[in-house]
């Protein structure tokens, strides 16, 4: 397997998954880079037990989960409450930003499921990545969609 081809095929998807976890562009870039360093380092050890995409998604989600654990163990101070946030001027950008925000507020497992789904990863593969049955993944996906829809309705 050619690393350059793998990187070209998956880097944008992995970046968007990381962005869905953290809603932080720089952190998403960092985690994406760490993911592909791990892919490069361990490519010779890949055993074809799953697709290469499943393997890379699993590495990325594990890196994201480790970063979340690290953040939990190192509390940060918040921004001052009197700061005003500039909202994107375009409606589509605003909705996308709100979606990323709502996704970042979901529990970890739900974030994994929805971000992989938004990257058009088949539900069977998502189930394999997170270690649950396909039917369980399908049910969770529909519940997550309902949660996100409800948040959009509640917030205009």
Q: What is the pTM of this model?
A: 0.59
What total of structural domains would you count in the chain?
A: 1
DSSP class per residue in 24-88: -HHHHHHHHHHHHHHHHHHGGG---SS-HHHHHHHHHHHHHHHHHHHHHHS--PPPPTTPPPPPP
Specify the CATH number for the domain of residue 148: 1.20.140
Dist. CA 112–CA 115, nearest whole Å: 5
pLDDT in tens, 61-94: 889 888 888 877 765 555 555 545 554 446 777 7
Q: Which domain holds residue 74?
A: 3-154
Residue partners of 29: CB distance under 8 A and separation at least 6: 15, 18
- Tell me the per-residue pLDDT of 21-62, one tens digit each, with 9 for 90 and over: 887 889 999 999 999 999 999 988 888 888 898 899 989 988
């Amino acid at each position: 397997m050619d690393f350059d081809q793998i990187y070209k095929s998956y880097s944008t998807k992995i970046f968007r998954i990381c962005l869905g976890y953290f809603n932080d562009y720089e952190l998403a870039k960092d985690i994406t880079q760490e993911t592909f360093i791990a892919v490069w380092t361990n490519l010779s050890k890949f055993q074809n037990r799953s697709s290469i995409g499943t393997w890379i998604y699993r590495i990325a989600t594990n890196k994201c989960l480790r970063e979340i654990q690290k953040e939990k163990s190192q509390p940060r101070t918040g921004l001052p409450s009197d700061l005003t946030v500039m909202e994107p001027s375009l409606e589509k950008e605003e909705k996308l930003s709100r979606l990323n925000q709502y996704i970042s507020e979901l529990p970890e497992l739900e974030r994994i499921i929805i971000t992989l789904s938004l990257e058009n990863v088949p539900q069977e593969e998502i189930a394999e990545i997170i270690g649950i049955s396909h039917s369980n993944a399908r049910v969770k996906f529909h519940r997550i969609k309902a949660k996100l829809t409800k948040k959009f309705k509640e917030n205009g």
